[in-house]
Amino acid sequence: MESRKEERNESFILTEDVKVRQEKKLRIEQKATVSSETQPSVTATLTLQFPLPPKVMSVGELDTQFKIAEHNPTPIKLSFPQKPIVTVNSLDTTFSISEISVPIQKLHFQPPPTVMISSLDISFKVDEEKVKLPKLFFPPKVTVSVSSLDVSLSSKLTTFERNDKELLESKKKDVRLDVDFLNNFFSLTSSIIDVTNGTILIVYDENKPGIEDSLKYIATEIALFHGYETNPITISSVSDLTRIELKDVGTRSGIFVLKKDLCNSIQEIENILFDSLNGISGYKYSIIIMPKCLYNTLSPKILFKPKRIVIEKLTREEISTLAYLASGFQLDWKGYDALDRTRQMFEDLLSSARRWLRRNYISLDIPNLGNETDLHRNLKAFILKHLIENEKIDGKSIYVESYIGNLKPDIYVIDRNLAIDAKTSIGHLPSDELLDVQKYAGFAKSIWAVMRPIAVLLDLDGIIGRLKDSDRQGIDMEVLIPVKDKLVTLEEFINEGKKYMAELLQGGRRAKP
């Protein structure tokens, strides 16, 4: 028992000796520390770089270990397709923007398409064979980053609607024209232009030599509006009965002109005319132009009245002014028959433009694949001549009979985003043709409807109404008329006629008698 107690005491003493030794060691180390503090020391400043600010998880002292690389790392240059967006407060890095050009595949269009908008979202495929085609022309709004495109499209162009803001910002036009100087003419035409069947009777003053010829021209043009293209039949004497049955007057379609000479033979033809005029209440479209001397004799005996009866009150100055306008500012003739002299003169004006086009720009002389009349094709030629010579538009910027989306204007001018249609007014009222061209407002900034002078004069009220309606819709549409060697606006056309008549009334213009 005593031996075990001694062992435990020895163990206790041993532990105490270890403690003493540790205290001695600590005192020695403290002396060494004091000694080292008296020695001079070298302090080195070290700058640390971190890819991101370090996160310190405690507020006390930071005791960490690290090692310094033997050499400075080489900065890596970064390349971005565009400037990166930095989301931290500080970023110490080096980068550069690549300026390497992206190779562009040259493509081809067949035929060259018309691009009218700033962006084009379309699918296409590249043909293996390359075909050289004309350079593309874009309207001013389109920004193209390459000089040319060579593309073969496998899909159609998309037509884009003009936005509401653009429509509202289009220039407003106040369509106001002083047409009082032609009041007698408009009173005559406005009462018969809307008749599509039945008989129209126009009564003229036989004391106005040649006025029936001007009325014949007016009647022929109005009949064209309704699709009746016919040669008027003139009956001037009893001997004319050998080539035409007078009973046909009023009972079949056509235009019949009874000359004042028949007044001298009224007793011989009265019964025939009486029977004929009793049949004029049918549905067949016809126009009878009759002198007042015959009408006064026959009208009390006519049982059935024609659909419309109009008594003309035209003056010689009005007829001469109308002829000046209808000829395209060419005919200066003072006479009641002046209007009948204008047709060939105006058609010659258009034919001359067609010859000019074929000599100089035959590539633009493109026919409509439908049933196109010579009048329509010549009218297109006059428009093209005006655009090139007067508007100074490059022929390469003009497209004729080309589809723009699913629409095909007669002429489209890319540089101006301008759609143009030539209107002959055959089978349609001119005002209805204006309603048709409004469809181009879906892609074109401006619309021109080019019309014959006589068509504009005959349906002037309707044309002005359509222009006002287009203006209310924000559609920039104008009516232009061929005259001499240029196109003029409707306002210029009417003002020129007003000026011409004023000179006639004042005796300042010497029209041919």
Contact between 65 and 82 under an 8 Å Cβ cutoff? The reply is no
End-to-end CA distance of the chain: 170
pLDDT of residue 301: 74
pLDDT of residue 306: 84
What is d(CA 438, CA 322) in angstroms, rounded to the nearest whole number?
28
Return the bridge partners of 342, or none: none
Return the bridge partners of 233, or none: 256
Q: Which residues contact 146 (CB under 8 A, 6 or more apart)?
A: 104
Burial 202-231 (b: 16+ CB within 10 A, else e): bbbbbebebbbbbbbbbbbbbbbbbebeee
* Domains in the chain, CATH or no CATH each: 180-314 (3.40.50.300), 339-508 (no CATH)
pLDDT of residue 88: 41
pLDDT of residue 502: 95
Length of the chain equals: 513
pLDDT of residue 74: 67
pLDDT of residue 273: 72
pLDDT of residue 263: 86
pLDDT of residue 13: 46
pLDDT of residue 151: 33
pTM (two decimals): 0.67
Q: How far is CA 386 from the centre of its chain?
A: 18
What is d(CA 497, CA 328) in angstroms, rounded to the nearest whole number?
10
pLDDT along the chain (513 residues), means of 10: 46 52 64 49 53 55 51 64 53 48 54 46 47 46 38 35 42 68 95 92 96 97 94 81 58 84 80 66 83 88 80 96 98 95 96 97 92 95 98 97 95 97 96 96 97 98 96 96 96 96 82 50
